[in-house]
Structure 1
Amino acid sequence: MRLDRLLSGQPSWNRRHAQLLLIQGRVRVNNEVIRQGEYEVSQFASVDVDDQSVQHGKAALYLMLNKPAGVVSATTDPEHPTALSLLPQSLQTELHIAGRLDKASTGLLLLTNDGLWSRRITEPELKKPKTYLVTLANPIDPGTAERFAQGIYFEYEGITTSPAQLQQLDSHRARLTIFEGRYHQIKRMFGRFRNPVVGLHRETMGPITLDPLLKAGEYRYLTKAEITAI
């Protein structure tokens, strides 16, 4: 929220007091003096007035998880294990999933408590690439790559998918990069060729690649470089 609103919401100060504190240079955000009331303060920032802490700031958390099959991308589920249940109890109430996978799919899940960061990687309008290893029930039709590059029209939504990149690996496997995340998008795209998807493993989201050292069900914190790349 705006810094002046945060200050004026404290019991000790009203809006006029908040403006005076800012003008006098008595307000620090992350140890930096800020004088602009319109300055946007995140939940992760520390805010101090003189020697008084107004907001301690919470730690921003960013993790990757190698999701196994049979696990749902949800915070809670009455019937199935969830991705969050694979994490320590202390993290389960802190995090949300940035970019879900269905129960049968495997691979890269990103988890965070930073809503702005997660939106930067999941909003379809931002066209962040996501790469999947896809295994098909039948041999891949020779015309698949060209059709995907043109976009596939989905009648239900009345939209055409963004051009996708298909790299065929063998008769039944391909590496597919899409730039959206629509409902069952990959299965529906291959459905146009009447070729069921029997395996779907996400390898990348934007600039972040699943750590090859992570076994199914394991997680690790993102590096600073991975976080700032989004």
Structure 2
Amino acid sequence: MRLDKFLAQSSIGNRKKVRTYIKEGMITVNGDVITEPAIEINESSDVIKYIGKVVDYAGKVYYMFNKPSGYITATKDTDHKTVFDFFDNVNMNGVFHVGRLDKDTEGLLLLTNDGEFEHQLMYPEKHVEKTYFFWALGSLDEKDRKQLEQGIYIGKGEILTKPAKIEVQKCGMYKELKYEMPIDNLENMHSNHYSQPVVSGYLTISEGRKHQVKRMLKAVGCYVVYLKRISIGGLILDESLEKGQYRFLTEVEIQKLMKISKE
């Protein structure tokens, strides 16, 4: 295994940081200072030290996290709370988020220290599907649904979105469905919200453009007021996880995601 990969997977830091540590002479292998990140080491028998302390090989980790609204997807931020604030008692050095969710979006977020895993799931050419549940002000008729399914323009200078899948769950007036909507109130969103139509459903996309789900629905006249990612590549959010809770992915779940991403 490459030395920099070993250190990153041992929670010393991400790949960029550990390369710096190596080049600055902070790493020894069997007592010798090593300054070449790509050197091959034996993680089972070699003794690797970081500033004089033995590094234990942690291996790859994969977390499923149920992200609550109000937290940004970042390792740290000076102005906002981040998803990593929920991992205070866990050594998260070298662990990063796979993709991201907007601050006000809830649901399934994966975290890992495995760069190949992230690559397989998030790179556009992999076409891994992600499904979101939404509530929006507005309505979706057959024409709107076909537009979303066939591809739609969501920004100046942008190409057509890739075909999506849309499933409408409920539609009606806000005054009739407000108690089913997981939102405290909409008082500040529209003066006539009480008599507005609302719609809920599932939108499945295979891209990752900025604010894509919100922008796609906006393009057909719907204003998203609640959004939750429920699945990635067939991996469904474990609903036994409360908001802010996490667990390790099972080996079966990891292999399923990797298999789907390679199809």
CA contact (8 A) 2:139 2:221 kept: no
The question of 1:114 aligning with 2:141 is answered no
Question: What is the aligned counterpart of 1:214 among 241, 244, 247?
Answer: 241
Q: Distance in 1 between matches of 2:71 and 2:2?
A: 39
1:2 Cα deviation after fit:
6.5
Work out the CA distance in 2 between the residues paired with 1:69 and 1:139: 24
Distance across 1 between alignment mates of 2:157 and 2:78: 30
Give the structure 2 partner of residue 87 of structure 1: 87
| Distance in 1 between residues matched to 2:91 and 2:142, nearest whole Å | 46
Report SS of the residue matched to 1:168. Answer: strand
Which residue of the partner structure matches residue 46 of structure 1? 43
Residue pair 2:70, 2:104 contacting (<8 A) in 1 also:
yes
> Contact between 1:73 and 1:101, CA under 8 Å: does it hold in 2?
yes
Aligned residue runs from structure 1 range 64-143, under 5 A:
64-143=64-143
Q: What amino acid is aligned across from residue 159 of structure 1 in structure 2? A: I
Structure 1, 125-134 or 185-194: larger mean CA deviation:
185-194
The yes-or-no answer on 1:204 pairing with 2:201 is no
Matched letter for residue 200 of structure 1: L
Helix, strand or coil for the counterpart of 2:170? coil
The aligned residue for residue 169 of structure 1 is: 169
Distance between the aligned counterparts of 2:242 and 2:156, measured in 1? 37
Q: State the match for 1:62 in structure 2.
A: 62
* Residues 28-55 of structure 1, C-alpha deviations (whole Å, 9 max, x = no match): xxxxxxxxxxxx97x9x7254xxx5579
Higher mean Cα deviation, 209-218 or 72-81?
A: 72-81
Q: CA RMSD in A?
A: 2.8
Decide which moves more: 198-207 or 89-98: 89-98
Residues 79-102 of structure 1, C-alpha deviations (whole Å, 9 max, x = no match): 221001111343333311002000
SS of corresponding position for 2:142:
coil
Contact (CA 8 Å) 1:47, 1:56: kept in 2 or not? no
Q: How many residues align?
A: 197
Query: Normalization by structure 2: what TM-score?
Result: 0.67
Task: Please report the TM-score for the alignment, with normalisation by the length of structure 1.
Answer: 0.76
Stretches of structure 1 that go unaligned for 5 or more consecutive residues are 13-39
Aligned to 1:35: none
Matched residues, percent identical? 35
Q: Which amino acid aligns with 1:214?
A: L
**Alpha-carbon deviation of 1:149?**
1.3
By how many angstroms is 1:140 displaced? 2.4
Single out whichever of 188-197 and 165-174 deviates more from structure 2.
188-197
